[in-house]
Amino acid sequence: MRMTVLASGSKGNSTVISSATTRVLVDAGLSCKELLRRMALVGEDPSLLNAILITHEHIDHVAGLAVLARRLRIPVFFTEPTHRAWVRMVTPRTTMTYAKWLNHLQQEKEARAAQTAAVEASAAAQAEAIASISAAAAAACEGLRSDDPNPTLELPVDPDEEACDAAAPAKEKANPAALPAVEYFHAGTNFTIGDLDITPFTIPHDAADPCGFVFHSRTESIRMAIATDLGYMPPNVKAALKSIDVLLLESNHDLEMLRDGPYPWSVKQRVLSRVGHLSNDATAEFLQKDYDGGATYIVLGHLSESNNAPELARLAAEQALTSHPTLLGNRVVLAQQASPLDPICL
């Protein structure tokens, strides 16, 4: 069995899991073009992928999803709430921008002013306009849909992604949420793709229905797991991560670096919350207290570029492991944001 981490971090996540006969991609958080480039770099043939599995709908996990799935013509596995959240996220919304609202109001105001020369009438219109502007601002803040009959969606067009999508049917290209096939799974319920038994487990994170995965190759008796994007280690995750041979585990931030770092207070609170990300300390605590020591490789992932240093993450994990002499066989590997890791083969 093989795990190839193509990218890991808040700018994009994607990992190939392969058994003798089955290959799946977990998350597609880089552009299609970049995912294909990285697969080529590490000798993973994209045409051999059987499916794409999505952990949750955050952009660092789905950025290249639609284009990649359409290009490879393979099914995408989601939980139903994650699929719905993703569709909402990528479907163009007819939201009127605040600037457009103001412009619209201005035009209305001018039309009214032209109709009446009376000073009183003009003053009344102005008062009404001010009230409308407040309402427009409130509507913009709440993301309300407008009834604008000609909405313009100002999404940046990436020519590389358009080129990747070139072979997709025109009907699909017109719909950003179109996928060749969608399959639903439920957290806590095993499902099978080829010779891979897959156990999705719920993780505590601020998304619709976020999951981690355990992969078990029946033919090889090897188990690999992915657990990133979790605010803390709840009992169900600790239970899921037993008897794992290769474990990709989040080690997102150093608490002091996050505290003193550049993020606004609200973002720091989100990262630190029970539905945010695992700190180096939290990961070390899990490794020291709850981990069974069974993995040949522990891959530390989703490291923050602003609030962590790879050596701090490694040190925290290795110190936790060396407190158990029996765990010295566990090799710690650091997943990267900018480049793929060499495949880890067992």
Site string for Zn ion, 11-50 (x = CB under 5 A): ----------------------------------------
**Per CB under 5 A, which region of 43-51, 52-60, 73-81, 172-180 contacts Zn ion?**
52-60
In the complex, residue closest to Zn ion by CB:
58
The residue from 34, 44, 57, 60 that contacts Zn ion (CB under 5 A) is 60
Cβ neighbours of residue 77 closer than 8 Å, sequence gap 6 or more: 51, 52, 53, 54, 182, 183, 184, 185, 191, 193
**Per CB under 5 A, which region of 56-64, 194-202, 211-219, 250-258 contacts Zn ion?**
56-64
Binding to Zn ion in span 93-112, by CB under 5 A: none
State the minimum distance, in angstroms, from the CB of residue 191 to Zn ion: 22
Residue type, 103: N
Q: Of the two residues 1 and 26, which places its CB atom closer to Zn ion in the complex? A: 26
Q: Of the two residues 12 and 136, which places its CB atom closer to Zn ion in the complex? A: 12
Q: Of the two residues 65 and 321, which places its CB atom closer to Zn ion in the complex? A: 65
Contact 250, 283 (CB under 8 A): yes
Read off the DSSP letter of residue 149.
S
State the minimum distance, in angstroms, from the CB of residue 253 to Zn ion: 12
Binding to Zn ion in span 193-232, by CB under 5 A: 229
Please tell me whether residue 58 binds Zn ion under the rule CB under 5 A. yes
Paired strand residues for 15: 5, 26
State the minimum distance, in angstroms, from the CB of residue 12 to Zn ion: 9
State the minimum distance, in angstroms, from the CB of residue 68 to Zn ion: 17
Q: Judge residue 275's burial from the number of C-beta atoms within 10 Å of its C-beta, 0-12 exposed, 13-18 middle, 19 or more buried.
A: middle
State the minimum distance, in angstroms, from the CB of residue 103 to Zn ion: 36
State the minimum distance, in angstroms, from the CB of residue 59 to Zn ion: 9
Q: Of the two residues 100 and 270, which places its CB atom closer to Zn ion in the complex? A: 270
Of 2, 1, 66, the C-alpha closest to 28 is: 66
Of 13, 71, 6, 15, the C-alpha closest to 40 is: 6
Q: Of the two residues 207 and 316, which places its CB atom closer to Zn ion in the complex? A: 207
The H or E element containing residue 297 is strand 297-301
Instruction: Tell me the site size for Zn ion, rule CB under 5 A.
Output: 3
Provide the 10 A C-beta neighbour count for residue 95: 16
Of 60, 8, 58, the C-alpha closest to 38 is: 8
Q: Of the two residues 81 and 194, which places its CB atom closer to Zn ion in the complex? A: 81
| The token pair that represents 278 in the structure block | 């695992």
Distance in angstroms (rounded) separating the CA atoms of residues 141 and 312:
39
Q: Of the two residues 44 and 60, which places its CB atom closer to Zn ion in the complex? A: 60
Q: Of the two residues 62 and 136, which places its CB atom closer to Zn ion in the complex? A: 62
Q: Of the two residues 22 and 280, which places its CB atom closer to Zn ion in the complex? A: 280
**Per CB under 5 A, which region of 58-66, 74-82, 183-191, 282-290 contacts Zn ion?**
58-66
> 3-state secondary structure string, 36-83?
HHHHHHCCCCHHHCCEEECCCCCHHHHCCHHHHHHHHCCCEEECHHHH
Cβ neighbours of residue 233 closer than 8 Å, sequence gap 6 or more: 278, 282, 285, 286, 290
State the minimum distance, in angstroms, from the CB of residue 46 to Zn ion: 22
Contacts to Zn ion by CB under 5 A: 58, 60, 229
